[in-house]
Amino acid sequence: MTLLSKIRLSGKFGKPVYVVSALVTLVMAGFTVFDPLLLPECLLLKLASIPFIFYLISVSGQRQKMYFYLNLGISRNEFRIIPYAVDLVVFIVLIIISVMIGNAIS
């Protein structure tokens, strides 16, 4: 199973993780566009939000869907880690772009 197919499978299971993380990421990117000096605070807030998102998703009752996808060849750890890894990559790219735009504006 390739990495892209694992990401697709985790996208089907982890839609709530992707949606909530994307909202936090977009808000942080918006803050850094208007004030690039808020970058350290945004990074700390993003890192602090990860355990809360993980807790909310684990409590929400998505476990029955997980067993279906485990039979398709993705491990439980990959299932939990892939959405956060994808979100981290997207977060870093958006923060870099927003800081560049913020520095160009000011």
10-residue stretch averages of pLDDT, the chain, 106 residues long: 80 81 92 91 91 80 60 75 89 94 88
**Helix/strand/coil percentages in the chain, nearest 5:** 90, 0, 10
- Per-residue model confidence (pLDDT) at position 99: 92
Question: Would you state the pLDDT for residue 101?
Answer: 93
The contacts of residue 87 (CB under 8 Å, 6+ apart) are 17, 18, 21, 22, 25
Give the model's pLDDT for residue 97: 95
Q: Would you state the pLDDT for residue 67?
A: 62
Residue 100, C-beta contacts closer than 8 angstroms, at least 6 positions apart: none
Q: What local confidence, expressed as pLDDT, does residue 71 receive?
A: 65
Which among 42, 19, 18 is positioned nearest to 31, based on CA atoms?
42
